[in-house]
Structure 1
Amino acid sequence: MPKTSLPPFRSVTKQLAALGERIRLARLRRKLGSAQFAERMGVSRETLRRLEKGDETVAIGSYMRALRILGLETDVDDVAKDDVLGRKLQDADLM
């Protein structure tokens, strides 16, 4: 059975583009060239270009490697840390 992929949500596309831009700016502030940064990440310059554009087909592991090299990997620890909606749903189910 062939693999099908759904088009990404428009909001997700915007978020990925913004994340890629923030990674690019962090790389530039550290004066890391694209070739050097891609080599440290273990990816091609084309993959780095796609990552910095927010391409949704780039593996999340590549984003994590980029953040690690930039010293920003702990920022990911805050994602979904406080699941307000989930807690409300859980509390409502207890009643």
Structure 2
Amino acid sequence: MPTAAPALTSNAQALTQALGAAVRAQRKGLRVSATALAEAAGVSRVTVYRIEKGEPSVTLGAYANVLTALGLGLKALPESADATSAAPLGWLPARVRLADYPQLRALAWHVPGAEALSPAQAWSLYQRNARHLDAAALTPAEQQLIQALQQAFADDGAPPHSPDGV
């Protein structure tokens, strides 16, 4: 019988649910079944389901095994009091759909048949082609994506190099 879930604050509950959603998005993005992930992580399929739902009673070890099997990490970061982004700090999609980001789609014109890119590929395109970005045409979602990619991949924390300062 599973351990009773500890009482959570609303912030803690949102955090576990966001972590579960990130696990699910990465698994889906990699096109891995829950059963295959469970086998790779050494946990049951039900545990994977519970992790994806953000249940707090799942052991940290099970979360760590699943994250490792998906190629994800976990960091403890201080909360920002003035965070205005809807996406959690450090959030990255498993695959960046070009249809969701018009400026990135324009930069990826030379990638034949690409519907989605890995976050690293997207960051590389933004970096190499920043001078071609139209800062005024960036949607809020694309601005958030660029900030998340910068946070994840920039060595010095510098934004993509462009005359517009994007």
Runs of 4+ in 1 over 4 A off after TM superposition: none
1:3-82 to 2 correspondences below 5 Å: 6-73=6-73, 76=74, 78-80=75-77
**Which amino acid is 1:79 matched to?**
A
Give the letter aligned to residue 12 of structure 1.
A
RMSD over aligned Cα atoms: 2.3
Cα distance per residue 1:15-70 (max 9 Å; x no partner): 10110011000011111001110111111111111000000000111111111111
Answer 1 or 2: higher relative contact order, Cα 8 Å, separation at least 6.
1
TM-score by length of 2: 0.42
- Contact 2:6–2:56, Cα closer than 8 Å, also in 1: no
Query: What stretches of structure 2 of length at least 5 have no aligned partner?
Result: 79-166
Task: State how far apart, in whole Å, the 1-side matches of 2:41 and 2:67 are.
Answer: 10
- Secondary structure of the residue aligned to 1:13 is helix
**Percent identity at matched positions?**
31
Alpha-carbon distance between aligned partners in 1 of 2:18 and 2:5, rounded to the nearest angstrom: 22
Tell me how many residue pairs correspond in the alignment: 77
1:5: Cα distance to partner?
7.2
SS in 1 for 2:8: coil
Where in structure 1 are there 5+ consecutive unaligned residues? Answer: 83-95
Greater share of helix residues, 1 or 2?
1
Q: Distance in 2 between matches of 1:62 and 1:5?
A: 15
